[in-house]
Structure 1
Amino acid sequence: MESELLDAEDYASVRRATQTLSTRYHGVLTLNARMEAWAEFVTDVEEGFDTMWAWEFSHDVADRDWLHDAWPILTERVRRHRQAELDALDERFRMVTAPVKLFGAGQSPMTGQARWWRYRYPLKVTGDPAEQLPPTWSPAPTHVE
């Protein structure tokens, strides 16, 4: 598929998303910056998430939340331009995480939710093996060096 050039309307939609979501997400970051932040987080999870930050894991997915909220604001052309990249990052994230399980539940009812990334935990962790992990991270992730 030949690459489509973005026009003024496309760039305006990116600016609109950035401005609209800046107060909700405490900062003015561009679409590129949010995509890069999500990519860096996915890489961190692939390499092994540090147990010291286990209780912050749900906060660390905020860049993916931003992308979710920005998508409807962006023009169709911008979404088409970035969708394959986002899909690839999401797939990588799914591959290195597992769905959280609610207490006593065999399978997480959150798996099919719109913000599915909020209901997953890393399969590999680094850091202190004695560090307490959230109880929904079950079975426990594998510690790697």
Structure 2
Amino acid sequence: MEIPLLDAEDYASVHRATQLLSTRYLHVLTLNARMEAWAEFVAEVEEGVETVWAWEFDNDIVDRDWLHDAWPILTERVRRHRQPELDALDVRFRAATAPIKPFGMSQSEVAGQTRWWHFRYPLLVTGDPTEQLPPTWFPPPIHIE
């Protein structure tokens, strides 16, 4: 299916999302930059998360949060154009992670979360094997060199 070229309304929606979300997120980044950042993070997770950064894992998924919040602001044509790329990255992220077992939540409650990426942890880690990992990362990820 060929997607028509984006027009001024489409670009305005990207700009609007960037501006509206700039107060909620620390950096003013474009849709392209957020997609690239999510792609880079997914690649890092696939290669193994450094144990020293394990406790920062939830903070590192901010670009996916931004994409989630921006999606309804974008025009349908922009979403249709970028959805296959986002879907492919999400598939890769799911393949490189496992569902956490959060304290006080059932697996069905976790499964129903719209921000599902907050409820996953990496399957592979690198770095110091004695570094303590979050207790919700169970069973523990495989340590690779």
Instruction: After superposition, give the CA deviation of every residue in 1:10-36 in whole Å (9 maximum; x if it has no partner).
Output: 000000000000110011100000000
Cα distance in 2 between the residues matched to 1:105 and 1:22: 31
Cα distance in 1 between the residues matched to 2:108 and 2:140: 15
Q: 1:106 to 1:11 in 2, by over 3 A?
A: closer
Q: Which residue of 2 aligns with 1:59?
A: 59
**Please, which moves more after superposition, 7-16 or 109-118?**
109-118
Cα distance in 2 between the residues matched to 1:88 and 1:39: 10
Q: 1:113 to 1:104 in 2, by over 3 A?
A: closer
Structure 1 position 104, deviation (Å): 8.2
Structure 1 position 109, deviation (Å): 2.9
Cα distance in 1 between the residues matched to 2:139 and 2:115: 22
Q: Which residue of 2 aligns with 1:14?
A: 14
Aligned-residue CA RMSD (Å): 1.4
Cα distance in 2 between the residues matched to 1:33 and 1:111: 29
Matched residue pairs, number?
145
Q: Which runs of 5+ in 2 are unaligned?
A: none
Cα distance in 1 between the residues matched to 2:5 and 2:121: 37
Cα distance in 2 between the residues matched to 1:112 and 1:121: 17
In structure 2, what residue type is equivalent to 1:53? W
Q: Which residue of 1 aligns with 2:76?
A: 76
Residues 1-145 of structure 1: pairs in structure 2 closer than 5 A: 1-103=1-103, 107=107, 109-145=109-145
In structure 1, what residue type is equivalent to 2:17? A
Structure 1 position 111, deviation (Å): 2.4
Structure 1 position 110, deviation (Å): 1.2
Q: 1:105 to 1:10 in 2, by over 3 A?
A: closer
Instruction: After superposition, give the CA deviation of every residue in 1:90-113 in whole Å (9 maximum; x if it has no partner).
Output: 000000101100348774631231
Identity %: 76
- Secondary structure (helix, strand or coil) at the match of 2:98 reads strand
Q: 1:104 to 1:115 in 2, by over 3 A?
A: closer
Cα distance in 1 between the residues matched to 2:108 and 2:42: 21
Runs of 4+ off more than 2 Å: 102-109
Cα distance in 2 between the residues matched to 1:104 and 1:82: 35
Cα distance in 2 between the residues matched to 1:142 and 1:67: 29
Q: Which runs of 5+ in 1 are unaligned?
A: none
